[in-house]
């Protein structure tokens, strides 16, 4: 049942192949796991967005072990879109999905299952295989795709987490590379496809005024915050296997750090962007466990699926270092957690304090260090904190925020991350996808903390994580202070222009 092979090569004898033998555009989608939550919440809405844009013109083959009918799967698509899509549905776009959909039910380890997948492809030779399944099944599914030749000119998309540590990440990459070349593998991190993440990159590179100041001589520190005001919400069993470091730090937030710290690329091609981000990862020190504080919100152990003595972190704060010429000596602080004061994701670049002021009276003027804030969620935008003269006769400074809201100048629908990334994968554009070496380097950075993590400290729901108090053990106090920026964390800026003052920042 193998797809047609080209003489003397790996790929099929088909027009429109790239230099590595991969088709310029995938001619089918094989969705493994269409009955799962990821498909319901993210993938079907993404396909709907592509259909609305007129970009979904390939057959879709759903594959799962569930004993469903095609009609049941189509109903699942419709109910998913009714739940997840805002506003009235476009029935033509819904029809575009269900009319192209077929379904194969069977065991992933059964050769007959993949024989029926091959038949359902109906002549397509360059399918995009989306593995919305547990990583433990990747090896079995990749082998099945290899057996029917779907890997020859096709592509494969895998979801995070890309392993549980450095060793398992290397094993996963070896599994994928046993059947696919690097140019065919798309490691999807939806955070990289979000509009604010891309805005951060463009803002950095397109504004020459910041170029001379973007280094250790002018920047005192960088703070990256990803806070959520809700808990695990019924996903306790999943979170027990992951924790905050694996869930968002090793992937999302280290990628954001790389975008902040990378050198300007020669161009915006996937290869050049990946190379510059890779240089940052290679320059990062392995995180010292003494620079990390882990926390667990009160009540987490009462969640379904959570062990009564669990030490899994729902909060982490750490200090990282990039030992490059540009960033030597500049601390990068990362914090992320659940059940915190607000839901907000942002990056704050704090510039050095001004030099001694020239007025005789040192109390006459108190300039504030400049802060460049990238607000990624909610209320996407950029703000710059500057000092101006305050009102009145005295010469005193006053800090003011110069703000730009992205939504105020943008017309048209907002493209969701999954729609963007699936569209890119269909076209073979790897710009916004993680590369194997980058994934492994990110695991190297956090591996000691994952392997030998300090005990998780309790924190109150609705707070900013573990707080300083007299009952802390000396080593916990040392870690908490090391993972806290000088002067404390900056509170996230809220969409209404206010600053969150809930809890302790």
User: Which residues are within 8 A (CB) of 166 and not within 5 positions of it... i.e. 6 or more apart?
Assistant: 440, 443, 444, 447
Q: How many CB atoms lie within 10 A of CB 411?
A: 4
DSSP bridge partners of 341 = none
- What is the pLDDT tens value at each position of the chain, 505 positions in all? 455 443 333 344 343 544 445 567 999 999 999 999 999 999 999 999 999 999 999 999 999 999 999 999 999 999 999 999 988 999 999 999 999 999 999 999 999 999 999 999 999 999 999 999 988 899 999 999 999 999 999 999 998 878 999 999 999 999 999 999 999 999 998 888 888 888 888 898 899 999 999 999 999 999 999 999 999 988 899 899 999 999 999 999 999 999 999 999 998 888 899 999 999 999 999 999 999 999 999 999 999 999 999 999 999 999 999 999 999 999 999 999 999 999 999 999 999 987 766 555 555 556 678 999 999 988 888 999 888 877 877 677 778 888 888 776 666 666 789 999 999 999 999 999 999 999 999 999 999 999 888 889 999 999 999 987 777 888 888 888 999 998 899 988 776 655 555 444 4
pLDDT at 8: 37
- State yes or no: 194 annotated in a binding site: yes
Q: In this structure, which long-range contacts are made by residues 304-312, counting pairs with CB atoms below 8 Å and at least 24 apart in sequence?
A: 304/234, 304/236, 304/237, 305/235, 305/236, 305/237, 305/238, 305/240, 306/232, 306/236, 306/237, 306/239, 306/240, 307/240, 310/240, 311/453, 311/455, 311/456, 312/239, 312/240, 312/242, 312/243, 312/456
* Domain 192-482 homologous superfamily, CATH: Dihydrodipicolinate Reductase; domain 2 (3.30.360.10)
Q: Was domain 28-159 assigned CATH 3.20.20.70?
A: no
CA–CA distance, 236 with 287 (Å, rounded to integer)? 27
- State yes or no: 279 annotated in a binding site: no
- State yes or no: 267 annotated in a binding site: no
Domain boundaries, the chain: 28-159, 192-482
Q: Is 257 exposed, middle or buried (0-12, 13-18, 19+ CB in 10 A)?
A: buried
pLDDT at 16: 53
Tokens for 280?
């940052």
- State yes or no: 369 annotated in a binding site: no
- According to DSSP, the β-strands at 28-32 and 344-351 are unpaired
- State yes or no: 71 annotated in a binding site: no
- State yes or no: 182 annotated in a binding site: no
User: Which residues are within 8 A (CB) of 325 and not within 5 positions of it... i.e. 6 or more apart?
Assistant: none
- State yes or no: 190 annotated in a binding site: yes
Tokens for 445?
């950075």
Q: Is 203 exposed, middle or buried (0-12, 13-18, 19+ CB in 10 A)?
A: middle
pLDDT at 201: 87
pLDDT at 411: 65
Three-state DSSP string of 209-274: HHHHHCCCCCEEEEEEEEECCCCCCCCHHHHHHHHHHHHHHHHHHHHHHHHHHCCCCCCCCHHHHH
Catalytic residues: 252
């Amino acid at each position: 049942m193998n797809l047609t092979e080209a003489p003397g090569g790996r790929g099929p004898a088909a027009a429109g192949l790239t230099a590595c033998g991969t088709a310029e555009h995938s001619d089918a989608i094989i969705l493994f796991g269409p009955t799962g939550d990821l498909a319901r919440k993210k993938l079907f809405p993404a396909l709907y967005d592509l259909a609305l844009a007129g970009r979904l013109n390939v057959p879709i083959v759903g594959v799962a072990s569930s004993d469903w009918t095609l009609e049941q799967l189509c109903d699942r698509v419709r109910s998913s879109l009714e739940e997840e899509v805002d506003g009235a549905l476009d029935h033509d776009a819904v029809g575009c999905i269900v009319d192209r959909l077929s379904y194969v039910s069977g065991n992933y380890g059964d050769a007959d299952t993949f024989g029926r997948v091959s038949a359902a492809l109906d002549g397509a030779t360059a399918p995009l295989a989306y593995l919305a399944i547990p990583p433990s099944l990747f090896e079995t599914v990749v082998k099945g795709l290899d057996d029917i030749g779907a890997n020859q000119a096709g592509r494969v998309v895998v979801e995070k987490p890309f392993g549980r540590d450095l060793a398992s990440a290397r094993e996963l990459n070896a599994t994928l590379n046993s059947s696919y070349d690097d140019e065919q593998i798309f490691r999807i991190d939806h955070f990289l496809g979000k509009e604010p993440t891309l805005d951060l990159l463009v803002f950095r590179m397109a504004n020459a005024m910041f170029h001379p100041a973007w280094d250790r001589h002018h920047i005192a520190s960088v703070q990256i915050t990803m806070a959520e005001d809700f808990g695990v919400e019924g996903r306790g069993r999943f979170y027990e296997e992951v924790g905050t470091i694996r869930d968002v730090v090793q992937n999302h937030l280290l990628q954001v750090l790389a975008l902040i710290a990378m050198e300007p690329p020669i161009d915006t091609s996937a290869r050049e962007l990946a190379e510059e981000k890779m240089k940052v990862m290679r320059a990062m020190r392995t995180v010292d466990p003494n620079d990390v504080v882990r926390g667990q919100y009160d009540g987490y152990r009462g969640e379904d699926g959570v062990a009564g003595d669990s030490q899994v972190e729902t909060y982490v704060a750490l200090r990282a270092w990039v030992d490059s010429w540009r960033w030597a000596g500049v601390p990068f602080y990362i914090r992320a957690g659940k059940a915190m004061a607000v839901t907000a994701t942002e990056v704050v670049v704090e510039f050095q304090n001004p030099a001694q002021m020239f007025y005789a009276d040192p109390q006459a003027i108190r300039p504030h260090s400049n802060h460049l804030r990238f607000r990624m969620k909610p209320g996407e935008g950029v703000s710059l904190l500057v000092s101006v003269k305050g009102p009145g006769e005295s010469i005193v400074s006053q800090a003011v925020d110069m703000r730009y809201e992205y939504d105020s100048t943008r017309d048209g629908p907002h493209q969701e991350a999954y729609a963007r990334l699936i569209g890119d994968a269909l076209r073979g554009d790897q710009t916004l996808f993680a590369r194997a070496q980058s994934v492994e380097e990110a695991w190297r950075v956090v591996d000691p903390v994952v392997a030998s993590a300090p005990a998780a400290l309790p924190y109150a729901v609705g707070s900013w994580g573990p707080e300083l108090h007299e009952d802390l053990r000396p080593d916990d106090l040392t870690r908490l202070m090391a993972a806290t920026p000088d002067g404390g964390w900056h509170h996230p800026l809220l969409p209404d222009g206010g600053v969150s003052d809930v809890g302790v920042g």
